[in-house]
A = this chain, B = another copy of it.
Amino acid sequence: MSDRVAFLGLGAMGEPMARNLLRARGELRVWNRTAAKAEALRGLGATPCATPAEAAGGADIVMLCVPSSPEVYDLLTRPDGVLAGARPGTIVVDCSTIAPSASIQHERLCAERGVAMLEAPLSGGTVGAKAGTLTLMVGGDAAVLERVRPVLEAIGKNIFHLGGAGAGQTVKLCNNLIFAAQMVGVAEAYAILVRAGLDAAKATDVFLVSTADCTAVRQRVPVAGVQANAPASNGWAPGFATEWMAKDLHLAQEEAKALGVPCLQVSLDHQLLRIAMQMGYAKLDLSVVGKLIQDWSAGTPEPS
């Protein structure tokens, strides 16, 4: 008999993921802090639940997707939370991006109740969530992953098992720090190009076939008009909001500190995103760091 699935957290990522699960499975128990978002899926076959416990109680697999570790902890441990409702043998799949140490703690809390937990942070953004082509970076027991893999294939194209609890989160944070480094490099490069009066579109053509090629060049040139779908051409609409990347870079630094790894560039990039946030750009796509540096470049050069 098929596994029954519950999905908790219908935000910008979770909502389209839930729709893909509904499309694939016909049914889904759903819960969201704001109940209206859960109700909205009823017409597609979803069963809105009043509490996380109720959602989990009728499910074999419980998926979570919320913004940060205190919310995961709360969803799991509140009096009407997942662990209050879940039967032993239930599997929790947490798609949130949080600190590896927090994820390890959550896995232990679940294990104490006989519940298995996988972490499965995502890459691919809202575009990938809608298309069902997300990348999942899974940490936890490999056999448990094989058990839930058919369910996860409704939301993701690439499902990687990376190690025990924490491993998926660590790889996710590393992925994001590399992406942030690209983005800041791209921001500085285009600020130079713009001030030099060069053609940003032509330069982009070069970068795409040279060593500069990277996701940030392919998707997020920070000059309006160069790429029709880039945030810069669409009022810096995310995409991936600056404040969330700032959060991830903070987590990456905490992980680096715990491991004894000095990370100068992550640390700098974090501060740059924080300056962007303080300029009012927190909710805009992280490529807005390009605007920040171009804003700084409108004055006069220093004396030599």
A contact residues vs B (CB 8 Å cutoff): 67-68, 70, 100, 123-125, 135, 137, 157-158, 160-163, 166-167, 170-171, 173-182, 184-186, 188-193, 195-196, 198-199, 202-203, 205-207, 209-217, 240, 243-244, 246-247, 250, 252, 255-272, 274-275, 277-280, 282, 293, 296-304
Q: Are B210 and A124 in contact (CB under 8 A)?
A: yes
Q: Are A296 and B267 in contact (CB under 8 A)?
A: no
Closest Cβ of chain B to A258, distance in Å, is 6
Partner of A301, one of B257, B279, B303: B257
Q: Are A206 and B158 in contact (CB under 8 A)?
A: yes
Q: Are B123 and A261 in contact (CB under 8 A)?
A: no
Q: Are B198 and A167 in contact (CB under 8 A)?
A: yes
Q: Are A185 and B177 in contact (CB under 8 A)?
A: yes
Q: Are B162 and A202 in contact (CB under 8 A)?
A: yes
* Alpha-carbon distance A210/B217, docked complex (angstroms): 14
* Alpha-carbon distance A304/B102, docked complex (angstroms): 13
Given A192-B256, A250-B257, 6 more A-B residue pairs with CB atoms under 8 Å apart are A173-B192, A179-B210, A195-B260, A257-B302, A267-B270, A278-B300
User: Which residues of B have CB within 8 Å of A266?
Assistant: 185, 188
Q: Are A264 and B257 in contact (CB under 8 A)?
A: no
10 residue pairs A–B, Cβ–Cβ below 8 Å: A135-B210, A160-B202, A171-B203, A174-B193, A188-B265, A191-B256, A246-B303, A247-B303, A260-B298, A265-B268
User: Which residues of B have CB within 8 Å of A293?
Assistant: 261-263
User: Which residues of B have CB within 8 Å of A178?
Assistant: 182, 185-186, 189, 207, 211-212, 214, 216-217
User: Which residues of B have CB within 8 Å of A195?
Assistant: 259-261
Quick one: closest B residue to A280, CB to CB? B299
User: Which residues of B have CB within 8 Å of A265?
Assistant: 181, 184-185, 188, 265, 268-269, 272
User: Which residues of B have CB within 8 Å of A216?
Assistant: 178, 214
Quick one: closest B residue to A158, CB to CB? B209
User: Which residues of B have CB within 8 Å of A184?
Assistant: 181, 265
Q: Are A191 and B261 in contact (CB under 8 A)?
A: yes
* Alpha-carbon distance A162/B205, docked complex (angstroms): 10
Q: Are A209 and B135 in contact (CB under 8 A)?
A: yes
A100, A259, A282, most chain B CB atoms within 10 A: A259
* Alpha-carbon distance A202/B174, docked complex (angstroms): 13
Closest Cβ of chain B to A72, distance in Å, is 13
Quick one: closest B residue to A214, CB to CB? B214
Q: Are B198 and A246 in contact (CB under 8 A)?
A: no
Closest Cβ of chain B to A296, distance in Å, is 5
Closest Cβ of chain B to A276, distance in Å, is 9
User: Which residues of B have CB within 8 Å of A180?
Assistant: 185
Q: Are A277 and B261 in contact (CB under 8 A)?
A: no
Q: Are A244 and B181 in contact (CB under 8 A)?
A: no
User: Which residues of B have CB within 8 Å of A161?
Assistant: 202
Q: Are A199 and B162 in contact (CB under 8 A)?
A: yes
